[in-house]
């Protein structure tokens, strides 16, 4: 890998992120206005793993305790989740999505599909789309 490729990839990643507005999801849906990507990751984890404890969320997301606490407070204030005693470990807190939290999860999934469709529509044919999926999968495996 040479410096020119590195610079080109860096610039292209920034341009794609900016063009898709993935850090400003409110431009895709008013309902997602002001919700941060970290918030959406937390909602996803809680939805997919109802018995997850706060420590596991911190480890999974690689964030400090104070960051998780701030995010949970923000999500509780918005009425998207609530703290509960964890059913698996009664000494620990867990989280539970509210009805509004489940609605936001569904809306985020809808927007995710719109973003993906926008990316795929930019490509010429199925071969290019398959290649994109293959390359993104390869990158994701290396990052995991």
Domains of the chain, by residue range, sit at 16-143
Tell me if residue 93 falls in helix, strand or coil: strand
User: Is the pLDDT reported for residue 3 higher than 90?
Assistant: no
- The H or E element that residue 82 is part of is strand 81-85
User: Is the pLDDT reported for residue 56 higher than 80?
Assistant: yes
CB 67 within 8 A of CB 37: no
pLDDT value for 23: 86
pLDDT per position as a tens digit, 110-137: 999 999 999 999 999 999 999 999 999 9
Residue pointed to by tokens 């719109």: 114
Long-range CB contacts (< 8 A, 24+ apart) of 97-104? Answer: 97/43, 97/46, 97/47, 101/43, 101/46, 101/47, 101/75, 102/47, 103/31, 104/31, 104/32, 104/35, 104/43, 104/80
What is the CATH number assigned to the segment(s) 16-143?
1.10.10.10
Distances (CA, A) of 50 to 2, 42, 47, 54, 141: 45, 11, 6, 11, 26
pLDDT per position as a tens digit, 59-102: 999 999 999 999 999 999 999 999 998 777 777 788 999 999 99
CA separation for the pair 83, 96 (Å, rounded)? 6
CB contact set of 134 (below 8 Å; sequence gap of 6+): none
CA separation for the pair 39, 71 (Å, rounded)? 6
């Amino acid at each position: 890998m040479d410096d020119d490729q590195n610079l080109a990839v860096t610039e292209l990643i920034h341009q794609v992120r900016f063009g898709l507005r993935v850090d400003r999801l409110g431009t895709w849906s008013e309902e997602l206005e002001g919700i941060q990507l970290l918030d959406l990751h937390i909602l996803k984890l809680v939805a997919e793993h109802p018995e997850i404890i706060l420590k596991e969320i911190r480890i999974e997301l690689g964030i400090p305790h104070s960051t998780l606490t701030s995010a949970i407070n923000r999500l509780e204030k918005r009425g998207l989740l609530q703290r509960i005693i964890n059913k698996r470990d009664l000494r620990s807190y867990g989280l539970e999505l509210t009805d509004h939290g489940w609605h936001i999860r569904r809306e985020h999934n809808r927007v995710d599909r719109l973003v993906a469709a926008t990316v795929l529509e930019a490509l010429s044919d199925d071969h290019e789309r398959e290649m994109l999926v293959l390359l993104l999968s390869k990158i994701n495996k290396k990052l995991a």
